[in-house]
A and B are shown apart, each in its own frame.
Chain A
Amino acid sequence: MALIKITNLKKQYTSGDDTVEALRGVDISIEKGEFITIMGQSGSGKSTLLSVLGGMNHPSAGEVEMAGVKLYHLPGEKLADFRAQNLGFVFQSFHLISYLTAIENVMLPLAIVKTSTAAKKSAARQALEQVGLGAKLDRLPNQLSGGEQERVAIARAIVNNPHILLADEPTGNLDSKTSDEVMALFRTLNDAGQTVVMVTHNPDNGRYADRTITLKDGMVV
């Protein structure tokens, strides 16, 4: 059974009299442990697809089923709880919290989890070691390079052992060498069993993935 099942997904944005169809009936199935890259030109709908997959953007029509749960059927704040327990996000601009150190940023998803601070610290340290930043735990984001910030963002995304790791243009702000290092890191995580869904428009990133889904005008091509 597929880990993620997207069926006839549609998303429309209305602005005044204009209606934009960002997604026009997308059907995708992703297996557990797969590394998927979603590619397409600007405006093809790939970021919208990722936000819908992340449980942050209600679709106009269709279903998103993850680990047997119909995401948009969850009541109230259960969707937030689902994100906290099952999803990890890596954002394009890292979006680290400027006033928190590397380890505090990584511990952020655990702030709402009822467990001891020692256990949270241990998990965060382990995640940072996994991305090769075990020596820079107490650095603030502005004391880290772009590549290091990306690694902290990845550590934050994996600290709660999510079922699915969602990444939005994670190499968009990095040079080619650092991009390769970061993609290699994603590959390593995937090799260890982590399901990865990544939006990118860099064709070179596709070689790290098991499969590439290409979107055009809101549809899979």
Chain B
Amino acid sequence: MKLHTISINNLKRRKAKMAFLTIGLMVGIATIVTLVTLTRSMSSDIERKMDEFGANILITPQSNGLAMNYGGISLGGVTFDQREILEEDLARIKTITNHKNISAVAPKVLGGIKIGSHDVLLVGVNFESELKMKQWWQIFGHEPKAENDLLLGSDASRVLNVSSGDSLTIKGETFTVAGVLDQTGSQDDALVFASLPKAQKLLGKEGKITLAEVAALCSGCPIGDMVTQIAEKLPDAKVSAIQQVVEGRLKALDQFKRFSYAMAGVVVFIGSLIVFVTMMGSVNERTTEIGVFRAIGFRKSHIMRIILLEAALVSLLAGFLGYAVGMGGAKLALPFMAESKNAVLAWDTSIAFGSIALALTLGLLASLYPALHASKMDPTEALRAL
């Protein structure tokens, strides 16, 4: 017989009370686990979807020119000392500290070219990364695969009077229009896209690129840091973050987090209240028992140890169960909550350990006052008769 025997036997033989206390705390922990897991899963889902909306870092050649356009109307520009980026330099982007946050790098070479009697802007792209980054593109026809395949914007297709499957001759070389883009409302509508090596050859810019778009994915990732890291690797290039995309992304994630923390706060409060009220009730119910303990020589600290050990055991169990039930709840709720069907449940050991630690802290804190109250009971009052 030791002090913990008293705590364990009390819990074992008062199953209903123990179950009520465990369930009360478990519901609180499970709600937090569900909320946090759902928020994390939804955040990564949203993050993934947002990344699909395009690039958030732009790499352009360093120039001392000033763009002269206003409201989308270009008035030309005064540019001197124009430099271009070497394609091989882009490989250095993958060596930055945050390289794991880079989802796609889409290099481009731009140049004017004559097709028949029309002057068009030819854009050389790496179709694989371009299509990964611009998932909103609707292609009539099929995706370009062969070296001589072209992809035309809707306006370019109309002006050149070609559609998918037709042929086009550029500088004496025959190309096939693999697909035509549905109208996007952007500059893409007027462009002719070719594979990067072919466009470089046609424009006489072998091994060079005009700009590169980078898609970085992460929750609240250090875009500013990544811009600096890329700029250090590419001293001849101008690296800038597309602030609107970044800030919009961060704001959306921040709102989700704040909502989650606010809900978690309310649930923590309710959970603590349940533990406090139940433990207080239990202590009051056990007044006589505590009086007997004190009368036979138990110190105040012994009484506190008995009550707090009971709370710790119940809290541990509630933590384990709360995590399991919470994850189950999150798994069931995720398909209804997430926007995409591909949303994946975020399994995280820190949530498992965190929920058990939280249950323990919560249980002990909420039981501290009832334990103190029990230890301070006057044995004479507690036993009444004596």
B386 touches A168 (CB 8 A): yes
Of all chain B residues, which has the CB nearest A166? Answer: B386
Residues of chain B in range 364-386 having any CB-CB distance to chain A below 8 Å: 378-380, 383, 385-386
Known: A95-B292, A111-B2, A112-B3. A56 touches B297 (CB 8 A): no
Work out how many contacts link A and B, with CB atoms closer than 8 A: 94
A202 interfacial by beta-carbon distance below 8 Å: no
Of all chain B residues, which has the CB nearest A81? Answer: B297
**Secondary structure dominating the interface of A:** helix
A117 touches B383 (CB 8 A): no
B13 interfacial by beta-carbon distance below 8 Å: yes
B13 touches A169 (CB 8 A): no
A100 touches B385 (CB 8 A): no
Residues of chain A in range 159-182 having any CB-CB distance to chain B below 8 Å: 168-169
Known: A104-B9, A117-B1. A80 touches B386 (CB 8 A): no
Q: A91-B386, A111-B5 are in contact. List 10 more A-B contacts (CB 8 A).
A: A82-B297, A89-B292, A91-B295, A95-B288, A104-B1, A104-B9, A107-B1, A111-B302, A112-B299, A140-B13
Contacts of A99 in B (CB 8 A): 9-10, 12-14
Partner of A91, one of B9, B292, B302: B292
Contacts of A66 in B (CB 8 A): none
Residues of chain B in range 1-40 having any CB-CB distance to chain A below 8 Å: 1-3, 5-6, 9-10, 12-14
9-residue interface stretch from A1-9, A46-54, A189-197, A209-217:
A46-54
**Secondary structure dominating the interface of B:** helix
Known: A108-B1, A168-B386. A84 touches B296 (CB 8 A): yes
Q: Give bound CA distance, A149 to B288, whole Å.
A: 16
Residues of chain B in range 201-255 having any CB-CB distance to chain A below 8 Å: none
Contacts of A54 in B (CB 8 A): 295, 386
A97 touches B289 (CB 8 A): yes
Contacts of A201 in B (CB 8 A): none
Residues of chain A in range 79-103 having any CB-CB distance to chain B below 8 Å: 80-85, 87, 89, 91-93, 95, 97-100
Residue of A92, A97, A168, A169 most packed against chain B (CB within 10 A):
A97
Q: Give bound CA distance, A95 to B296, whole Å.
A: 12
**Distance (Å) between the CB of B215 and the closest chain A CB?**
63
Contacts of B386 in A (CB 8 A): 47, 50-51, 54, 56, 89, 91, 168
B380 touches A109 (CB 8 A): no
Contacts of B269 in A (CB 8 A): none
| A-B pairs with lowest CB-CB distance, top 4 | A84-B297, A99-B13, A107-B1, A83-B297
23 of the cross-chain contacts (CB-CB < 8 Å) are A54-B295, A56-B378, A77-B300, A80-B294, A80-B299, A83-B296, A83-B297, A89-B292, A89-B295, A91-B385, A93-B385, A95-B291, A99-B10, A100-B9, A104-B1, A107-B1, A109-B296, A111-B5, A111-B302, A112-B297, A112-B298, A112-B299, A124-B1
